[in-house]
């Protein structure tokens, strides 16, 4: 896809972080915007700022864990704009701790947003985009699923997040192959950013009430949360830069969109370990202080 002006972009998680910057870039390119987020205040702020700049915006509070919410989002987009050209399945949350210490509610929350949000987006919007392509030979569509380098690597104390993002990579690769089978003029990409300063380290504040628990955090959860905040804050690439890289990838038709090519060496080491039957490679091999920090904090948790 090279022409964006006048076309329609749907963005989940649009109230902050990467989603907000996808919306800013899409607006700069003259797109009409359908913005979704679970945070009503952040969504209103984003929509108001974009409208003040002249963008045509439809904003809806949406919990992507829920199929009905995503279906309502699609219905609203079709009623307002009669079509969708660019879909960002982007909403995401993060948490940390030793994998056996997560509660069922923790798994439900992370997989619900990070994985089921993408599943619902693909399931609901892809048929609409394929139908538009059948009606219009000039139609172009593109779906971008936000994964993470944690979808290609396996860092410790991030179990549900790792599982969700690996699943998003697999889902996206399958989507790519399936779209090719039907000769669709709808393309797919998976975005795998590394550490970018966003609010994901504080996503707990948006956890649905029915999925909360009152137990105090374990030492591994405290250490993992501190490391997550430190790592995210240390990111030197802004969300706006990631958005520009992503749109460049869409223009080229890239499937894998990487923002931090220096991290791909660790991916190659992981693949090499798989091919040669070696133990999993250390995702923090280049930053051993992270592993040392975690080990010191959780000593005794496995006994």
* Least-confidence region, from 185-199, 213-227, 270-284: 213-227
Predicted confidence at residue 300, as pLDDT, reads: 58
**80-126: per-residue pLDDT in tens?**
999 999 999 999 999 899 999 999 999 999 999 999 999 999 999 99
Using 50, 70 and 90 to split pLDDT, how confident is the model at 293?
confident
* Mean pLDDT for all residues in the chain: 92
Contacts of 271 (CB under 8 A, 6+ apart): none
Residue 233 has pLDDT above 70, yes or no: yes
**284 flagged as catalytic:** no
**205-226: per-residue pLDDT in tens?**
878 888 887 788 888 888 888 8
The residue whose two tokens read 């702020």 is 45
Catalytic one among 81, 161, 194, 284? 161
**249-259: per-residue pLDDT in tens?**
999 999 999 99
Taken in order of first residue, the domains within the chain and their CATH numbers are: 8-298 (3.40.50.720)
Question: Are the beta carbons of 162 and 194 closer than 8 angstroms?
Answer: no
Distance from C-alpha of 121 to C-alpha of 117, rounded to nearest angstrom: 6
- ∠ Cα 210 215 216 (to 5°): 130
Residue 134 has pLDDT above 70, yes or no: yes
Residue 200 has pLDDT above 80, yes or no: no
Distance from C-alpha of 120 to C-alpha of 112, rounded to nearest angstrom: 10
Distance from C-alpha of 170 to C-alpha of 149, rounded to nearest angstrom: 13
* CA pseudo-torsion sign 118, 121, 123, 126: negative
CA atoms within 13 A on the CB side of 267: 15
Predicted confidence at residue 301, as pLDDT, reads: 59
pTM: 0.93
**38-72: per-residue pLDDT in tens?**
999 999 999 999 999 999 999 999 999 999 999 99
Q: What is the rounded average pLDDT of the residues 230-259?
A: 91
Tokens of 99: 């994998």
């Amino acid at each position: 896809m090279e022409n964006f002006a006048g076309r329609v972009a749907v963005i989940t998680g649009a109230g902050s972080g990467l989603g907000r910057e996808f919306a800013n870039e899409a607006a700069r390119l003259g797109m009409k915007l359908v913005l979704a987020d679970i945070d009503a205040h952040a969504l209103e702020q984003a929509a108001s700022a974009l409208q003040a700049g002249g963008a045509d915006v439809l904003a809806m509070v949406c919990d992507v864990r829920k199929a009905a919410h995503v279906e309502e989002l699609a219905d609203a987009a079709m009623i307002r704009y009669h079509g969708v050209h660019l879909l960002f399945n982007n909403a995401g949350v993060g948490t940390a701790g030793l994998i056996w210490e997560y509660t069922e509610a923790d798994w439900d929350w992370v997989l619900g947003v990070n994985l089921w949000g993408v599943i619902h987006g693909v399931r609901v919007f892809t048929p609409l985009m394929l139908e538009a392509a059948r009606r219009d030979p000039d139609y172009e569509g593109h779906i971008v699923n936000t994964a993470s380098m944690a979808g290609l690597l396996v860092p410790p104390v991030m179990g549900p997040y790792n599982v969700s993002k690996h699943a998003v990579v697999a889902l996206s690769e399958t989507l790519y192959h399936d779209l090719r089978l039907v000769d669709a003029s709808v393309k797919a990409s998976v975005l795998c950013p590394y550490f970018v300063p966003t609010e994901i380290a504080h996503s707990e504040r948006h956890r649905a009430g029915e999925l909360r628990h009152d137990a105090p955090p374990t030492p591994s959860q405290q250490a993992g949360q501190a490391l997550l905040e430190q790592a995210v804050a240390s990111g030197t690439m802004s969300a706006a830069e990631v958005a520009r890289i992503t749109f460049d990838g869409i223009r080229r038709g890239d499937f894998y969109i990487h923002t931090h090519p220096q991290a791909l060496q660790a991916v190659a080491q992981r693949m090499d370990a798989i091919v040669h039957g070696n133990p999993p490679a250390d995702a923090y091999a280049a930053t051993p202080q992270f592993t040392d920090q975690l080990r010191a904090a959780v000593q005794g948790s496995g006994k």
